[in-house]
Chains A and B, each alone.
Chain A
Amino acid sequence: MKINELNFMIGGKAGEGIEVPGNMFAKLCMKAGLWLNATREFYSVIKGYNNINQIRVAEQPVKSHINRYDLILAIDDETVPRYYKDVVPGGGIIYDPSLVSASSVQSEVRPGGALVYDATLMKEALSREDINYFPVPMSDLAMEKVGLKLAKNIVGIGATLALLDYNVQPLLDLIVKTFARKGDDVVNKNIDAAQAGYNYAREKFSREFNYQLRNVKNPVKKFFADGNEVMVFGAIKSGLKFVSEYPMTPSSSILHTTAKYAQKYNISVNHVEDELSAMNMAVGAGFAGARSLVATSGGGFALMTEAVGMAGMIEAPVVCIECQRPGPSSGLPTRSGQGDLRQVMHASQGEFPRIVMAPGHHEEAFYMVHEAFNLAERYQCPVFIISEKYLSEGYATLPYLKTDHLRVDRGKLLKESEIRAGYKRYQITADGIPPRAIPGQKGGAHLANTYEHLESGYSTEEVGHVTAMYERRMKKIELIEKNLPAAELEGNPKADFTIVCWGGTYMPASEAMDMLNRDGVKTNLLHVKYMLPFQPGVREILEHCKRPVLVEGNYTGLLGGVIAEKAGIDIRSRILDYSGRPFTPDKIYEEIKKLTKK
């Protein structure tokens, strides 16, 4: 019997609603005092195609998703034949016998999307002897109780709770809360649906399943959010005042979440005409003195490129979150990948200081975004946070994050009273950072100029002036580098293998490290957080590692290239994945196990 340790998955067609019951289930678990990590895999379509929602629950914080399921709730026909092999022995599948039976055949084949199955495959999918099958007539119960087939997902969640031997009441309360705005009728129908599923499972399969959910005593106060939401919270905490964005998966929820809080926190949030406008506006707002943010994915970022250089040239603070999806071009809109590192590092012509960093998990993302706004103002340059779909749209429970120690640092932004006569915005200073006045301040008038300029901002092409200004600007890079936190090695410093990764790959990699160590394969981990300027300490760490293994979500090992360039170390062992799916701990574990045999 496993208590409070469950990897649950809901599978269904886009449009059938796997998100609402998934969120309900997750919230129930959070209310029960559990920790969880949840991620969705879905096609870039609005209706049809099989999507899944993976929710992993435990009494301790959950590092990553995994693809071995303890319980699957299949509300469509396709989930069972697709995923039956991924159920662990002793696990179970809840399915709808009207959709899934030994005589089911494919009703509609969707090229490029659907799994093509026939009666043979269905029969096989329903005949594993080491797992439990729970046929629940979800569609029929939904029709019978509420006259609405679409409520089958709620029936399914009711049945799930019964199998996990958990009380139905918290689900009913959550339904009231979730659907209250839609009126009593909708609330009551969903309550009936949930209750019907619960009762059915109680009667038919009572207490024969190996997994249970129970309330945890004195749980830590926590909240449940995805990576994009957490990053927005960090931005709001840091004094976010301006957002301009054009929707693009998987960054759009940054726009949605900032828009939701725009009035409460007095932020100007703008859904603008394109990404050219988004970045240019944000630079304008940053120049004028507002903490400003843009978010996009690789394609949108490509359009922002020219304005990135403008921010570098006029030394405007601006923060950009680039949520990667696999490319090239439109690529895989709703999937995850890590192919944009070099694009972000090198976007725009010429040379100028910028900061590029990537958080590894939700909590780090919160603090990193907060830090990004301080760095942008301290060094007067654009700052980039690279995320990926896995982190941006993946959910986690987090403790209420500590914020008492966080400070807003505006660098050399002058108060009006500090502006002296003869003020020069681009003054050649010892540390390279000039004093900054913003429009409207008395005595601070100056020209921000994308052409090379004098200390006043006035255009120049004279050799002496050009080189002096260029050197002053570029000098900031040394200063930034000097003040970056050094890289840290996680785990046993004497391990045989060192996983080297960046971004959200940290989550599965960190769990893989634990799995390998439990298995006697001594492994530690180096998570590189700052790519530009390159994080200090990486070379020193790698020089003492027995066998570094690069783990990245791309084909060419982009971080590996950066490490070779900046630290002079060529990492030969590589685990690379460009399938559009995030790494699982299992995959990293298995690949490193293979290396032990070489």
Chain B
Amino acid sequence: MLRTVKDYTSTEGKPNWCPGCGDFGIEMAMKQAMAQLDLDPDKVLLISGIGCGANMPNWFSTYGFITLHGRALPVATGAHLASHELSVFVEAGDGDAYGIGMGHFIHAMRRNPNMVYIVGNNTVYGLTLGQISPTAAKGCKGPSTPFGNPDLPVNPIALALANHCSFVGRGYAGNLPHLINLIKAAHQHKGFALVDVLQPCVTYAKDVGYKYYQDLTYDLQEAGHDKTNLEAAMKRAFEVPEKYPIGIFYQEERPLYEEELPQFKKGPLVSHDISNVDITPIFEEYSS
């Protein structure tokens, strides 16, 4: 019997996002992708940071972990290396990923652990009442920038392309079928997969809402983009804010972090027998 969204849904309660929030789309796309991939919920670990979207593990029936603001990736990396056969999904917001946790993002891409990194990119900090995020355009106004954002926005796609990210994707929370397929492709990818999701915040970022993205997004794959061409991908990454390409910008096969180390060959570290480790050889080594 094929699994359905229900198999991934917690019985404890329902999401508390604002009506119309892009997070509903991301949640549904993730559950649909998991169901279509027929993942065993007990083998799925969903790790999040802090923020509206990062509350997501509350509403999943898989293993979950709501961590700290900006630290979802290192926590996920540790859990993944301890138990590397799990399907690890990491859910973070743009503040998590491109603000406070930017350093971890850069280094995770270098490391290439096998996990999907879904970043809800809505250009604002919703949970703290609407300040600008690192992806907000210059000039954007908010409670912390009453005279306009003085800084230029982060370009996460270009950043990932420039930094060895082995799967660089962008989805749109208002295009569910596309987002489901993108998350599935990201999960099937062997390595670290970034899925940046354009996500309207209907409460605080009304200028960049569904209408805005509906008009400006287009499907890279339909447009004939070659996802193995880094140069072409980089060019597309800089089409914002005139156009927002969605789909797979770039994908390459690279050995996984854990594949290159013999420690992981005997199965997940958590399955190793630790009841009687013999350290006499170490004493011998240090006695000569």
Contacts and interface: CB of A to CB of B under 8 A. Distances in A.
Interface stretch (B19-27, B135-143, B174-182, B272-280): B272-280
Interface stretch (A279-287, A334-342, A565-573): A279-287
A472 interface: no
B71 A262 contact: no
B64 A447 contact: yes
Given A236-B282, A265-B277, A268-B269, A281 B77 contact: yes
Interface string B9-24: 0101100000000000
22 contacts: A239-B272, A241-B82, A241-B269, A242-B269, A263-B263, A268-B81, A268-B269, A280-B67, A280-B75, A284-B74, A284-B82, A285-B78, A288-B83, A289-B82, A306-B68, A310-B67, A310-B71, A440-B85, A440-B86, A445-B41, A446-B64, A454-B12
A445 B63 contact: yes
A223 B284 CA distance: 7
A457 B64 contact: yes
A290 interface: yes
B286 A225 contact: yes
A444 interface: yes
Contacts of A270: 81
A446 B66 CA distance: 11
A280 B78 contact: yes
Among A288, A314, A456, A458, max chain B CB count under 10 A is at: A288
A408 interface: yes
Contact of B74 (A222, A280, A450): A280
B76 interface: yes
Contact of B287 (A224, A239, A244, A267): A224
B66 A451 contact: yes
Nearest to A458: B12
Given A224-B287, A445-B41, 13 more contacts: A221-B287, A223-B286, A229-B286, A266-B272, A280-B74, A281-B75, A284-B77, A286-B78, A288-B45, A288-B83, A291-B274, A440-B83, A456-B12
A445 B42 CA distance: 6
Tell me which of B42, B266, B268 has the highest count of chain A C-beta atoms within 10 A of its own C-beta: B42
Top 10 closest pairs, chain A to chain B, by CB: A239-B274, A284-B78, A281-B78, A290-B82, A288-B82, A284-B75, A280-B74, A285-B78, A223-B286, A289-B270
B62 A445 contact: yes
Contact of B261 (A177, A233, A268, A454): A268
Contact of B280 (A238, A277, A400, A446): A400
A261 interface: yes
Given A223-B287, A242-B81, A439-B83, A233 B71 contact: no
B79 A458 contact: no
Interface in A273-309: 273-274, 276-278, 280-292, 306-307
Contacts of B42: 440-445
Nearest to A404: B276
Contacts of A440: 42-43, 45, 63, 83, 85-86, 268, 270
B103 interface: yes
Interface in A393-443: 400-401, 403, 408, 438-443
Given A268-B264, A292-B82, A400-B283, A450 B277 contact: no
B269 A266 contact: yes
A408 B274 contact: yes
B61 interface: yes
Interface in B203-236: none
Interface residues of B, number: 60
A238 B277 CA distance: 7
Contact of A438 (B83, B106, B264, B282): B83
Contact of B68 (A241, A268, A307, A441): A307
Interface string B75-111: 1111111110110000000000000000110110000
A448 interface: yes
Nearest to A309: B68
Contact of A439 (B12, B79, B276, B288): B79
A450 B68 CA distance: 7
Interface residues of A, number: 71
Contacts of A27: 288
Interface in A347-379: none
B58 interface: yes
Contacts, number: 210
A272 interface: yes
Contacts of A281: 74-75, 77-78, 81
A436 to B, nearest CB: 12
Given A277-B74, A459-B55, A242 B63 contact: no
A233 B77 contact: no
A281 B270 CA distance: 15
A268 B277 CA distance: 16
A110 B282 CA distance: 42
B83 A266 contact: no
A30 interface: yes
Interface in B1-52: 10, 12-13, 41-43, 45, 47, 50
A421 to B, nearest CB: 13
A539 interface: no
B257 to A, nearest CB: 9
A237 interface: yes
Contacts of A284: 47, 65, 67, 74-80, 82
A268 B279 contact: no
A561 B280 CA distance: 41
Q: Which of A239, A268, A443 counts the most B-chain CB atoms under 10 A from its CB?
A: A268
A450 B230 CA distance: 39
Given A310-B68, A450-B66, A451-B66, A458 B58 contact: yes
A449 interface: yes
Contacts of B43: 440
Contacts of B74: 244, 272, 276-278, 280-281, 284
A288 B266 contact: no
B286 A289 contact: no
Nearest to A366: B279
B260 to A, nearest CB: 12
A270 B108 CA distance: 12
Nearest to B287: A223
Given A274-B103, A447-B58, A244 B12 contact: no
B57 interface: yes
A554 B214 CA distance: 64
Contacts of A229: 286
Contacts of B266: 266
B146 interface: no
Nearest to B103: A273
A598 to B, nearest CB: 46
A288 B74 CA distance: 13
B262 interface: yes
Contacts of B80: 284, 288
A27 B280 CA distance: 19
Nearest to A273: B107
A119 to B, nearest CB: 45
Contacts of A448: 64-66
A270 B76 CA distance: 14
Contacts of B268: 440
Contacts of A401: 283
